[in-house]
Structure 1
Amino acid sequence: MKPILYTLLLCSAILLTSCKTDYANLPTYSGSRQLQAVIEVPAGNNLQLKYDRKAQEFVKAKNAGKDRVTEFLPYPGNYGFIPSTEVGKEGDGLPILVMAERVEPGTVMEVVPLGILQLETDGELQPIVIAVPARPSERTVDATTLTAFATKYPAAQTILKEWFVNQNKTAKTKFVAWRDEHFADKEIQRWMKL
């Protein structure tokens, strides 16, 4: 009887460790209808991480075979993507920066979009959703609209714009515009997988 019990426990342990979360295909909105964000790079990191859809794990981003490290200031917020969205040539999730305390890669957060920071990189438009946690107790920024953010934290918009324009020395990134939370909602809908 003991060998059968041991075998069952071992098989259960193997099955549990082989189950991985498919972060890319989580719902865009939670059951409570809040936008979700999957964090890849924690606030304050310089090492860039990326979710590998095939392996279903967070890996170090590479550039010419070397780990991608931001040679500028560390990430000013938790960077990741909105699940079940696809943008760009590679079909990555819509990028999002959540202004909050540092959280670990793989954290799924309910968020409120403040707006979109529109950039142009190498001739291609690049929208980045700027958001805060949906739970007020997790917010470090007391704003839920772009107008409130701009009014209460006028320098923060400039800091974010400058960080994204300058964080990658090899990319030719230009600032295009700030867009409000209504524009962000439309962009999220636009890039959702059907």
Structure 2
Amino acid sequence: MKRYASLLLLLTLLCSACKTDYANLPTYTPNKQLQAVIETPAGNNHKMVFDRTSQEFISEKEAGKDRIIRFLPYPGNYGFIPSTEVGGKGAPLEVLVLSERAETGTVIEIIPIGVLQLEIAGELHPQIIAIPARPSEQLISAHDFRSFSKQYPAIKKILEDWFLHHNAAAKTRMGGWRDDKFADQMIQRWMKL
């Protein structure tokens, strides 16, 4: 029985050391497809984040309590582009993937279709807007900023309104939209080498 308990303890320790470091996954797959890590699923009001220290997804805290979006739920799957770091602050590029709900911890191949620039407290906060790379997972048929703007102006307006109002304390201002080429340049710029 002692041998079984020792083996179980050893397996438990080994498994706890096997956590995926989502922050340092490759930015691109071997077939050159951009990846996103989903933190907060579409339709969720509880903001989830990947904690680099524990390598676990946890609820973001606000005043010591779980942060709950007291507005409409997330209009897409929210997360980050792995192995990117914006401005040396340790924060990765944020991404909103327009697709059906993907659970926290899902790694999905994406196509960026634009960047929504937000200004919060005088700093720019780019939000990459993307669709899944797999056609079977796509809900909209736009594959670049031009087609997105032409075919889905209402989605653009909804995203603007959501980002401007989902966090009243942040005093967010609209900084404008940038195209898919700008998104690609931004990803290249902030990739960790």
- Provide TM-score, normalisation by structure 2: 0.94
Q: What residue ranges of structure 1 are gaps of 5+ in the alignment?
A: none
Q: How far off its partner does 1:11 sit?
A: 2.9
Q: How far off its partner does 1:8 sit?
A: 5.0
Aligned residue in 1 for 2:153: 154
SS of residue paired to 1:87 = coil
SS of residue paired to 1:86 = coil
Identity %: 57
RMSD: 1.7
Superposed CA deviations along residues 120-164 of structure 1, whole A, max 9, x for unmatched, are 011000101000000000011111101111111110000001100
Q: How many residues align?
A: 193
Q: Which has the higher strand share?
A: 1
Superposed CA deviations along residues 36-56 of structure 1, whole A, max 9, x for unmatched, are 000000000011011100110
Aligned residue in 2 for 1:69: 68
- Alpha-carbon distance between aligned partners in 1 of 2:2 and 2:31, rounded to the nearest angstrom: 45
Q: How far off its partner does 1:105 sit?
A: 0.7
Aligned residue in 2 for 1:84: 83
- Alpha-carbon distance between aligned partners in 2 of 1:19 and 1:80, rounded to the nearest angstrom: 22
Aligned residue in 2 for 1:182: 181
Aligned residue in 2 for 1:59: 58
* 2:17 paired with 1:22: no
Superposed CA deviations along residues 160-185 of structure 1, whole A, max 9, x for unmatched, are 01100111000111111111110000
SS of residue paired to 1:102 = coil
Q: What residue ranges of structure 2 are gaps of 5+ in the alignment?
A: none
Q: Identify the range of structure 1 (20-29 vs 144-153) with the bigger mean alpha-carbon deviation.
A: 144-153
Aligned residue in 1 for 2:123: 124
Q: How far off its partner does 1:5 sit?
A: 7.8
* 2:101 paired with 1:102: yes
Q: How far off its partner does 1:117 sit?
A: 0.5
- Alpha-carbon distance between aligned partners in 2 of 1:47 and 1:63, rounded to the nearest angstrom: 11
- Alpha-carbon distance between aligned partners in 1 of 2:96 and 2:116, rounded to the nearest angstrom: 10
- Alpha-carbon distance between aligned partners in 1 of 2:4 and 2:85, rounded to the nearest angstrom: 45
- Provide TM-score, normalisation by structure 1: 0.93
